[in-house]
């Protein structure tokens, strides 16, 4: 069932452009006006640190609040999704931060795929090339990422207005992590209507992580807990991720 209008604030469908400089660690991606624009094709190799928190997608909430279009709603099946926060210390386009939301599974020709429906990064080059290479609907935002011992605090803003805040604590001992245990195959929709599938590959060293507090402006980013999110997940530091060339899916 769809959420009622009285209990949910409808998200905005269009993002406004930000002119604010990113805080420390964010990357200035402006190129010289006389230089031709450089592209960064897949595959990409990325390293850094990050967090993954699982969710079991609540259809009633995510159908209305996870920034799905009509086609998405028809194919949305719920199930396992995730909230991810990443500090890419190295990538093909330089370092940048990332916040993304996957509400669960989407069915296409009897197969289930994951789909990123909301994603913000601190690099405009990452925005442009993410759309170009994998049809990932990235948007620019400013990040403040603070790490003090076992606690990490992240704030994400646009046009000077904070729309997401989270406080995370890592716990216990280190253990190996790999996407082979929890494979994620994305199916993203390009602007021309084609569908691109990408199975990213990652390995690293992880710890259990716990969300101590989280808040979002639902007009800009879904409420992770209302969407079916779990407060216990995994923090990986360091990790290595490979984003291969996307495959066209008929």
199: in domain: yes
Query: CA of 27: how far to CAs of 24, 33, 238, in Å?
Result: 8, 18, 20
Confidence at 17, pLDDT banded by 50, 70, 90: very low
Residue 178 pLDDT > 80: yes
22 within some domain: no
Residue 129 maps to which CATH number? 2.40.400.10
pLDDT above 90: residue 9: no
Query: What pLDDT is attached to residue 37?
Result: 84
Q: What is the pLDDT of residues 196-223, one digit of tens each?
A: 999 999 999 999 999 999 999 999 999 9
Report the relative pairing of strands 118-121 and 138-140 from DSSP bridges: parallel
Residue 10 has pLDDT above 90, yes or no: no
Average confidence (pLDDT) over 99-128:
98
pLDDT band at residue 139 using 50, 70 and 90 as cut-offs = very high
Q: Which domain holds residue 138?
A: 44-249
- Name the domain count of the chain: 1
**CA 46 to chain CA centroid, nearest Å:** 15
| Residue 35 pLDDT grade (very low, low, confident, very high; cuts 50, 70, 90) | low
Residue 33 lies in a domain: no
Reference 9, options 222, 194, 241; nearest CA is: 222
How far, in Å, CA of 199 to CA of 184, rounded? 6
Confidence tier at 71 by pLDDT (50, 70, 90) = very high
The answer to whether residue 1 is domain-embedded is no
pTM for this predicted structure: 0.85
What is the average pLDDT value for the chain, to the nearest integer? 90
Q: Classify residue 118: in a domain, yes or no.
A: yes
Q: CB neighbours of 173 closer than 8 A, spacing ≥ 6?
A: 207
**Does some domain include residue 27?**
no
Q: What is the mean pLDDT of residues 235-248?
A: 97
Residue 56 has pLDDT above 80, yes or no: yes
Q: How does residue 20 score in pLDDT terms, banded at 50, 70 and 90? A: very low
Domain annotation covers residue 120: yes
Indicate whether 128 belongs to any domain.
yes
């Amino acid at each position: 069932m769809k959420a009622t209008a009285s209990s949910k604030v409808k998200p905005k469908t269009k993002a406004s452009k930000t002119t604010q400089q990113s805080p420390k660690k964010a990357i200035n991606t402006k190129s010289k006006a006389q230089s031709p624009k450089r592209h960064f094709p897949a595959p990409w190799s990325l390293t850094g640190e990050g967090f993954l928190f699982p969710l079991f997608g609540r259809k009633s909430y995510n159908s209305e609040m996870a920034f799905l279009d009509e086609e998405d709603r028809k194919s949305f099946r719920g199930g396992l999704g995730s909230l991810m926060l990443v500090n890419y210390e190295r990538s093909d386009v330089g370092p940048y931060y990332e916040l993304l939301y996957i509400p669960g599974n989407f069915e296409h020709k009897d197969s289930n795929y994951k789909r990123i429906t909301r994603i913000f990064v601190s690099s405009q080059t990452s925005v442009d090339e993410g759309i170009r290479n994998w049809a990932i609907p990235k948007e620019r935002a400013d990040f403040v990422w603070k790490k003090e011992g076992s606690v990490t605090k992240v704030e994400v803003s646009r046009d000077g207005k904070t729309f997401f805040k989270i406080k995370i604590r890592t716990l216990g001992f280190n253990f190996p992590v790999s996407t082979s245990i929890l494979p994620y195959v994305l199916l993203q929709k390009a602007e021309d209507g084609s569908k691109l599938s990408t199975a990213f590959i990652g390995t690293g060293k992880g710890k259990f992580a716990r969300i101590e507090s989280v808040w979002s402006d639902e007009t800009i980013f879904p409420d992770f807990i209302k969407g079916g999110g779990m407060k216990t997940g995994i923090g990986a530091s360091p990790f290595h991720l490979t984003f291969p060339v996307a495959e066209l899916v008929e």
